[in-house]
Amino acid sequence: MYAIKQGQAEDAPDVITGMVLLNDQPAYALFDSGATHSLIAEQYVKLLGLSLILLKSTVCISTPLKDKVIAALGCFGCKLAIGEQVGKIDLLVLAMYDFDLVIGMDWLTKQRAIMDCYRKAI
């Protein structure tokens, strides 16, 4: 389980929380620059009826409580809308309870690379 709680996130300087759309459905998201991967709550996957894909290799994830959990399933190419910006996101499935999504550095880094290419093209 991803262990950061909603109250802790609101007080942390390096995270942002807010509503986004995942596959056109509202989702409560944590934008966490300390997370290497983007995650989706297991129960949210079921709620949306998303297709799960078995990962080629499992991913061991350390939680803020220094526990380790294993992710073996993912949802790939999901549509993520943040305001007017729409893109794709790949998500690892974990048991989480305070957030539908954790948007980590894997996605945030791709967005920065896209913006850098856009700036160079102008």
CA dist 5 and 13 (Å) reads: 14
The answer, yes or no, to whether residue 97 has pLDDT greater than 50, is yes
The answer, yes or no, to whether residue 54 has pLDDT greater than 80, is yes
State the residue range of the domain holding 73.
14-121
Model pLDDT, residue 96: 86
Per-residue confidence band for 7, with pLDDT thresholds at 50, 70 and 90: low
Do the domain assignments include residue 57? yes
Do the domain assignments include residue 71? yes
Do the domain assignments include residue 101? yes
Query: In total, how many domains does the chain have?
Result: 1
Assign residue 46 the CATH number of its domain. Answer: 2.40.70.10
Do the domain assignments include residue 7? no
Do the domain assignments include residue 1? no
Model pLDDT, residue 112: 76
Rounded mean pLDDT of the chain? 84
User: Taking the model in full, what pTM does it have?
Assistant: 0.81
Per-residue confidence band for 103, with pLDDT thresholds at 50, 70 and 90: very high
Tokens of 111: 């967005």
Q: Is 117 left (phi over 0), alpha (psi -120 to 50) or beta?
A: alpha
